[in-house]
Amino acid sequence: MDDIKQKLEEFIKTKKVDDDGVGLCRNCKLFYISNIYDIFDSWEYFSGNYEYPIQSITKDFNAKWEYNNISKYSRIHLKFRLSLAKHILDEINEWEM
């Protein structure tokens, strides 16, 4: 869990990931968190899709299309990913108390 926390903290601080071609799940190994779906469910901006938890920002396309075709770490997508990273980190820190 420490590795995941470190990756999330680093992303929040620098706004950069190792591979900007993939989302937070791969960059921060989020699927090693046993209740990640519950965390997604409790995030206020959750898209409803566990594969693409960042909601679509355009009405013409869906979250999967945006994930595959629009930069994942710029503009509003960066804001959503930062919000999600902070939410996940808060949840992890709460468990450890």
Per residue in 73-94, pLDDT (tens digit) is: 888 889 999 999 999 999 999 9
Q: State which residues form the domain around 29.
A: 2-95
Angle, helices 2-14 vs 75-95, to 10°: value is 140
Tell me the per-residue pLDDT of 9-32, one tens digit each, with 9 for 90 and over: 999 999 999 998 899 999 999 999
Domain tally, the chain: 1
pTM, rounded to two decimals: 0.89
User: Count of H helices and E strands in the chain?
Assistant: 5, 0
Three-state DSSP at 48 gives coil
Composition of the chain by helix, strand, coil, percent to 5: 55, 0, 40
